[in-house]
Amino acid sequence: MKDVAILMDTSGSIVTGQQISPFRAMRRFAKNLIGRLESGWDSQAVVHFSEKAEVVFNFTTFSTKEEMYQAIDNILQFNENTDTAMGLRTLRQVTFAKGNGERDWVPNIAIVITDGRSNVEISQTYPEAQLLKNMNVTIYTIGVTNDISPDELKAIASSPDYFIPAEDFNTLGQLSFLDSVVKASCRSNTAPPDCSSPVDITFILDQSSSIVASGDQDFWYRDLLGFVSSVIKNFNVSPNGTRVAVVKFSNNANVPILLNNYTSISTLLPAIRNEMIEGGQTNIASGLRAARTNVYNPGRGYRPNVVNVAFLITDGESNIEMDQTIPEANNLKNLGIELFVMGVGTGVNINELQRIASRPLDDHLFNAAQYPSLDSVWRKVARNICNAKGEPKVTTAATTATTTTASIPQCSVTNCQQCSTPNRCSQCNSGYLLDNNGNCILLPITCNVPNCISCQTNNYCSQCENGYFLNNGRCTPQCNVPNCQQCSMPNRCSQCNSGYNLNGNGECILPPITCNVANCISCQTTNYCSQCQNGFFLSNGMCLPQCNVQFCQVCLGPNQCNTCMNGYVLNSLNICVLSCFIPHCTFCQIPNFCAQCDAGYYIVNNGTCVLLPIQCNVLNCQQCLTSNRCAQCNSGFSLDNNGNCILQCSVPNCQQCSTPNRCSLCYSGYNLDNNGNCIPQCNVPNCQQCLTPNQCNLCNSGYNLNAPNSCVPQCNVPNCQRCSEPNKCSQCFGNFVLENGSCREAQISCNIVNCITCLQANLCNQCLDGYILENNICRIRCEVLNCYLCNRPSVCAVCNSGYNLNTLNNRCDVQCNVLNCAVCNSPNVCAACNSGYNLNLAINRCDLQCNVPNCLICQSASRCLQCSGGYNLDSSSGTCVVQCQVTNCYVCNSANVCGQCSPGYNLNVASNRCDPQCNVANCAYCSAPNVCSGCNPGYNLNSASNRCDPQCNVQYCTQCLTPNQCYLCNNGYYVDNTGQCSPTCRLDYCLICLSSSVCTRCYDSYFWNTALSPPTCAFCPIPNCDRCLTTTTCDSCRSGYDWSTLVQPPACI
């Protein structure tokens, strides 16, 4: 009987170079191997792997070999690299894990088949193989073709002899090769218990309230029913094979499963797993009675001609029908039922269980400290049930209604095998003694176990004396001696752990150690120091120089740092300074807070560095670019082209104000009036105030504004229409005639309405007051300028052509097509803009009033959209700055003089140049921000890493700490204790070498084993140990585990 798992390599190499399909040959081999294993006793599982792994089937997945063959034929090749560690890990974590059918009481065997060597997770291959071996799994390896690594496969195998080579894939199909594999796998096989005979088993289960069935303490479903399932799996459940029944009891009993309810293990196990717990008190008698009356009944599957077994499991003692418990047990045994009993925990009555169980007690009575402990005894239970023979049947009144033999009287004596009279026993059951009254009393137990206070059987202790602990029914001395494997007395060792010597006082001491660690006073092992000399400190068993460099983590010498502490960097002076990422900061004393800024910068309250302020001589300036040039004015002031701050002015067409609302200097084309306003210059003679240079708004005294927007003399001559001088007429009204500058009435009959005098009957010469002569007719005189027809003198009805009637103010305005224009001289020529806009005479446009100096077009009053010639728009501030000819200059004082560089650049005042900011240590100058193009003397530029490395005089060194001290060597070399580059360590699994034959640090899970010849880095065989000192002593356990010498052998627990 054995569990065999086949691990198949299905990587990409299993496709070429063979006469037959290698993949098909490997699948055929797996099927042939399964076919040669023994049905019923041997369990099989198959896993295949490449860079990943897949479980084809586990030990309990299939019940027939035909199903296994079909599953193997359906395997799809992964066709990737070879990760043997992944395959071994899957066997460990899945296939041989508890719950997947693995039986750790039979040999566990893994057969690994591969045609190559590991090329993924190479360092994990041997550790994974060792972990699998630690689980008592025997590993055989089969290597196909010459591409394999025999050394690797021998190391994976449990023994070098367990490596089986195959010349090619054709060899796998040869019968002789298959025989050799089967023969090898049988080396560790043991004879299985004989469970082939049919047996009827009844499990009588305690379901009282003391059994928890939920959470982490799932005693019922997980532990008790799991235990029952584990026992049943060892039997051939079938109609003619083994039959199983289940009885549950608490206050009363019920029988959910009879012997003939289920005929296969595949249907029986789910039914058992689904049984619910009811709770209540403990009535063992009811469970025994239900088994006798309901199960052992021929009409319900009971077979008297096969071995019949009942298995009682309880965690308490009878508290209902206590006086019926033993009689009911005897009634079952008298039927020929062999009765096994399992007591769980400390609440059982051991005397009661001894009287229930069949004899001998050593084979029929079991105990477990708690329900989870059932998992450790089911193998023994299954084996004992396999070997059961059944109780001898006794014919009594309790077992039959009639007496079949007249010579055997009915017997009412408890525990009696045969009576001489109904009330007097002549032969008691095994384990009982016949007294003088013909009764059967329990044989007294003689305790043969040394140092035992109370025995369960003659040779099985249940309680030891003080100073001893219970160990499988024996009393073993409690051992208080450190590193002792076995004590003869609690404080005296008789056998020490490996690596320790026993002295005359019964103590375990370490043997004298030869210390090979330099600068070490005392060693824990040959190559692991426990105390260093003065001037050195202990680190992972090595003595390193004590470090006088502040904030240094690892020193090469007392005053030479190799690696700084986290948050610090090593500068060119071999000093560890705080890592400081604040711009323009020379160094920090605490993280993210500058202690000293670069030249030209100062520290502000938040620990950052800002540019030193410039002494500003410009009045009303908030921030200067230079001492005499402003960059930003105070509120209420604007920056002019010369960098001065002038008062912001609300007077239209004013170039400079004395107050915000009073102009002191107007723009060209405008004159300053007495109120501090800017009015257009006036080209109209005798005009006092113009709207535009050629349009008068108010004439001088003695002149009137006429229709053509000109100023004409006021006229005092009666009936005169127009004067050349105030008292001299040049044109009379219609009915008057001009004579010597005066107007006399013409004597003509006039038919024209509102006409005073006519030149002819239909030709008016002068109209009535309030009317004007036009085209020989009299129209109402219109006082509205540019009005063609008035309804009344001051109310216009129709404006002249080119003018629009403004009904709100009864005015004829020039038709104006200029946007934001208030008054036009002509339809397309603006004379005055709306409020908030300035007239641009050059392009006849109303532009938004703009307070940004040198701005051509504004987006708002304080933000420019387009600058004047010679200026560039600063899009972030909306201001106009001088066009800058200096590369990477942000603000120029003039076209060729930079005042402020762009971010990432520093101003070089001496050369008027913006140089890239250079934060690369030991860099002389940068070609771009933080991109070094030339290093300081004594340093070389490493373009690949943008770093100035010390010039390196060390041969084979890639990067130096100092010119004569290497930090990183070329491939194939490592930094030795002198800072030089020595050839790389060739020792297997060694991370750091002290010399070509001495390793100072092995890979994880390996340790320097000087017991080997030659010494080498060996895998640590102690489970859950991160670092070994020896093969039996752990220096550091994994997280969650502690090294304990109180267990034997010592372990990480």
Domain count, the chain: 3
Q: How many helices (H) and strands (E) does the chain have?
A: 14, 90
Read off the pLDDT band of 405 (50, 70, 90): very low
Contacts of 13-22 with CB under 8 Å at 24 or more apart are 13/82, 13/115, 13/116, 13/147, 14/77, 14/115, 15/77, 15/79, 17/145, 18/168, 18/169, 18/170, 19/168, 19/170, 20/169, 20/170, 20/173, 22/115, 22/144, 22/169
How many angstroms separate the CA atoms of 845 and 839, rounded?
A: 6
Segment 47-68 mean pLDDT: 88
Say if strands 3-9 and 43-49 run parallel, antiparallel, or are unpaired: parallel
The confidence score (pLDDT) of residue 391 equals 66
Of 247, 226, 234, the closest CA to residue 197 belongs to 234
Q: How far is CA 846 from the centre of its chain?
A: 62
- Judged by DSSP in three states, 155 sits in helix
Distance (Å, rounded) from C-alpha 617 to C-alpha 628?
A: 5
- Note whether residue 773 is domain-resident: no
264 and 345 co-located in one domain = yes
Domain that holds residue 978: 952-982
On whether both 103 and 210 belong to a single domain, the answer is no
User: Is the per-residue pLDDT at 503 higher than 90?
Assistant: no
Does pLDDT of 367 surpass 90? no
Task: Band the pLDDT of 397: cuts 50, 70, 90.
Answer: very low
- At 329, phi and psi to the nearest 5? -65, -40
pLDDT at 1051 over 90: no
Q: Is the pLDDT of residue 396 over 50?
A: no
Place of tokens 């602990």: 469
Residue 503 is assigned to a structural domain of this protein: no
Are 177 and 229 within one domain?
A: no
| Tokens 């060390």 belong to residue | 954
Which pLDDT score, from 0 to 100, does residue 1041 have? 82
Rg for the chain, CA atoms, rounded: 57
The arithmetic mean of pLDDT across residues 935-952, rounded, is 83
Q: State pLDDT tens for residues 779-795.
A: 888 888 888 888 887 88
Structural domain ending residue among the three candidates 963, 982, 1001:
982
More confident of the two residues 409 and 617 = 617
**355: closest CA among 371, 377, 332, 335?**
332
Mean model confidence pLDDT for the chain: 81
- The whole-number pLDDT of residue 398 equals 37
> Is 907 within 8 Å of 914 (Cβ atoms)?
yes
Q: How far is CA 36 from the centre of its chain?
A: 49
* Pair 57, 156 in one domain: yes
What is d(CA 832, CA 823) in angstroms, rounded to the nearest whole number?
5
896 touches 886 (CB < 8 A): yes
| One domain, residues 103 and 219 | no
Mean pLDDT in residue range 414-441: 80
- Regarding predicted confidence, which is higher, 444 or 369? 369
Judge whether 821 lies within some domain.
Answer: no
Q: Is the pLDDT of residue 281 over 50?
A: yes
CA distance 67 to 313: 37
7 and 72 both lie in a single domain: yes
Mean pLDDT of all residues in 116-142: 87
Report yes or no on 956 lying in a domain. yes
Q: What per-residue confidence (pLDDT) applies to 472?
A: 65
**Coil, strand, or helix at residue 29?**
helix
**Does 336 lie in the same domain as 212?**
yes
What is the CATH classification number for the domain harbouring 972? 2.10.220.10
Last residue of a domain, one of 185, 210, 239: 185
Provide the H-helix boundaries in 357-478: 361-364, 378-386
426 against 176, higher pLDDT: 426
Same domain membership, residue 132 and residue 51: yes
Give first-to-last CA distance, the chain, whole Å. 32
Query: Region 495-520: what's the mean pLDDT?
Result: 85
pLDDT at residue 403 in the model:
32
Domain boundary pick from 129, 156, 185: 185
- Considering the domain architecture, whether residues 292 and 173 belong to the same structural domain is answered as no
**Based on the domain organization, do 381 and 256 belong to the same domain?**
yes
Q: What is the pLDDT of residue 174?
A: 65
Note the pLDDT of residue 1019.
80
Q: What pLDDT shows up at residue 258?
A: 94
Over residues 164-188, the pLDDT tens digits come to 888 777 776 665 666 666 665 655 4
- Specify the pTM: 0.30
pLDDT digits (tens, 9 = 90+) for 636-651: 888 888 888 888 888 8
Per-residue pLDDT of 313-322, as tens digits, reads 999 899 999 9
**Residue 462: is it exposed, middle or buried by C-beta count within 10 angstroms (0-12/13-18/19+)?**
middle
Specify the pLDDT at position 925: 77
Beta strand residue intervals within 841-983, DSSP E:
845-848, 855-860, 863-867, 871-874, 879-882, 889-894, 897-901, 905-908, 913-916, 923-928, 931-935, 939-942, 947-950, 957-962, 965-969, 973-975, 981-983
Task: Compute the distance between CA of residue 215 and CA of residue 227 in angstroms, rounded to an integer.
Answer: 18
Q: Which pLDDT does position 747 carry in this prediction? A: 65
Which residues have a Cβ under 8 Å from the Cβ of 107 and sit 6 or more positions away?
1, 2, 3, 138, 188, 189, 190
Query: Is 220 a domain residue?
Result: yes
Do the domain assignments include residue 797? Answer: no
Distance in angstroms (rounded) separating the CA atoms of residues 7 and 172: 15
The backbone torsions φ and ψ at residue 535, rounded to the nearest 5 degrees and listed phi first, read: 90, 0
Q: Residue 11 corresponds to which tokens in the numbers above?
A: 């990587």
CATH code, domain with 117: 3.40.50.410
pLDDT (mean) for 489-504: 84
| 339: phi then psi, degrees, rounded to nearest 5 | -110, 115
Q: Which two tokens stand for residue 858?
A: 């504004």
Question: Do 76 and 41 share a structural domain?
Answer: yes
Q: Is residue 914 domain-resident?
A: no
Q: What is the pLDDT of residue 408?
A: 42
Contact call for residues 651 and 665 (beta carbons, < 8 A): no
pLDDT in tens, 8-52: 998 877 654 444 477 888 888 888 888 877 665 678 899 999 999
- Binning pLDDT at 50, 70 and 90, where does residue 205 land? very high
Q: Closest Cα to residue 346, out of 319, 317, 323, 375?
A: 317
Between 148 and 101, residue with greater pLDDT: 148
- How far is residue 22's CA from residue 171's CA, in Å, rounded to a whole number? 11
pLDDT digits (tens, 9 = 90+) for 211-261: 865 455 567 887 788 888 878 887 888 988 999 999 999 999 999 999 999
How far is Cα 536 from Cα 519, in angstroms, rounded to an integer?
7
Percent of residues, the chain, with pLDDT higher than 70? 88
Query: Comparing C-alpha atoms, which of 341, 500, 361, 530 is closest to residue 429?
Result: 361
> Does any domain span residue 742?
no
pLDDT at 632 over 60: yes
Q: Give the range among 415-429, 445-459, 726-740 with minimum mean pLDDT.
A: 445-459
Q: Which residues in 947-958 are b (16+ Cβ under 10 Å) and which e?
A: bbbbebebebbb
Residues 141 and 20 in one domain: yes
Confidence (pLDDT) at 201? 94
What ranges make up the beta strands (E) of 667-708? 670-672, 678-680, 687-692, 695-699, 703-705
The region of weakest confidence among 246-250, 720-724, 946-950, 980-984 is 980-984
